[in-house]
Amino acid sequence: MVRRSAGRVSAIVLIGVGAVVAVVAAGLALLTGAGPLPDPVGCTASVQGREVTLSTEQAENAALISAIAMKRGMPPRAVSIALATAYQESKILNIEHGHLDSIGLFQQRPSQGWGTRRQILDPVYSINKFYDALSEVDGYESMRITVAAQAVQRSAYPEAYADHEADARVLASALTGETTGGRFWCTTRGDVDEESDELDDAGLTNRAAIVREELGNVFGDLSLGGFEPGGVTSGHMESSAHYDGRAVDVFFRPVAEANRQRGWEVAQYLVAQADRLSIRTVIFDGKIWTSGSRSEQGWRDYDPPSSSGDPDVLAHRDHVHVDVFD
């Protein structure tokens, strides 16, 4: 029988271990986007040199927190307070567990009168309940964020919310459109299942109809267009998604700073929900975001096709364009 030397056996073992480590590392790189592989899915907000990163799920919830404040007519400060609270309580995740009977984005407790377990686990309900309570805090707009959050939550750790103030301000500024120009974006895979191209009574595919319905549910009364019964046949550039019933326009007229801010809030919300809603493209205010391989570039300058039309319309300064995958 031939015996291998201890040194040779050790070398073989080390090679084997090294191979396993390499495979594991490659797998982790594939999942996280490390090294030369594609960037991971997720979202980023960048304001005044400070950058905040979120998972897709966190971004969806953060954008909803911002959108509901807009619908209620609350200021960006309210969004900062809500986001700092959600950071501390749940990491902006709709979790089904917590201390005692605490659950949801804000760890609200059924036993403390916040609602039933089912209600609190509905993010729209829990966000509105938080804002209901915040609106009762006299002078919350000028309070320190952690003080306002504590006035609502009555936490055993009243200063804990301060740890998240800076990140919450960045997110709120980007998501509310207080800082315009596309300061929030997401990286998405852009892979979706094929779906029927049949149009509904409004002239939209199923995916586009879902986007239209969501916009109404989340933001309330908006001026929507770019579709019509039987389908759109004119008025848009060649090969426009409008002709396939895959696009919706959200109008913010006249072109003015207040409408620009509201437009950016809707545009950023759509990007945050792009993965869930199978959104392909969002265009607004001379900027374009595209799902899939180009999404990691964030918002890019949009160069409209040459035309003699209104430059504000061509550059989408008076409306947010959103289209979905086929």
Q: What is the pLDDT of residues 258-288, one digit of tens each?
A: 999 999 999 999 999 999 999 999 999 999 9
CA atoms within 13 A on the CB side of 299: 22
* Residues 152 and 254 placed together within one structural domain of the fold: no
Residues 184, 67, 161, CA angle at the centre, nearest 5°? 75
Q: What percent of the chain has pLDDT over 70?
A: 87
Residue 157 is predicted with a pLDDT of 78
Domain boundary, last residue among 157, 179, 201: 179
SS (H, E, C) 99-154: CCCCECCCCECHHHCCCCHHHHCCHHHHHHHHHHHHHCCCCHHHCCHHHHHHHHHC
| Matching residue, tokens 């207040």 | 258
Residue 28 lies inside a defined structural domain of this protein: no
- Which of the residue ranges 31-40, 93-102, 214-223, 286-295 would you say has the lowest mean pLDDT? 31-40
Q: Is 23 contained in some domain? A: no
Domain count, the chain: 2
**Is a pLDDT exceeding 80 seen at residue 9?**
no
98 or 88, higher pLDDT: 88
* pLDDT range class, residue 87, cuts 50, 70, 90: very high
The number of residues in the chain equals 326
Examine the domain organization and report whether 155 and 57 are in the same domain. Answer: yes
Q: Are residues 174 and 46 in the same domain?
A: yes
Q: Which of 109-123, 150-164, 240-254 has the lowest mean pLDDT?
A: 150-164
Paired residues of 197 in beta bridges: none
Mean pLDDT on 201-225: 97
Q: Which residue range is the domain that position 264 belongs to? A: 191-324
Burial class (CB in 10 A: 0-12, 13-18, 19+), 119: middle
98 and 141 co-located in one domain: yes
Last residue of a domain, one of 133, 150, 179: 179
Choose the weakest-confidence range: 10-24, 131-145, 173-187, 308-322: 10-24
The per-residue pLDDT of the chain, averaged, comes to 89
Maximal CA-CA distance, the chain:
90
**111 located within any domain:** yes
How distant is the alpha carbon of residue 9 from its chain centre? 53
Ramachandran class of 50: left when φ > 0, alpha when ψ lies in -120 to 50, beta otherwise: beta
Written as one string, the DSSP assignment of 148-188 is HHHHHH--S-TTGGGGGHHHHHHHHHHHTTSS-S--EEEE-
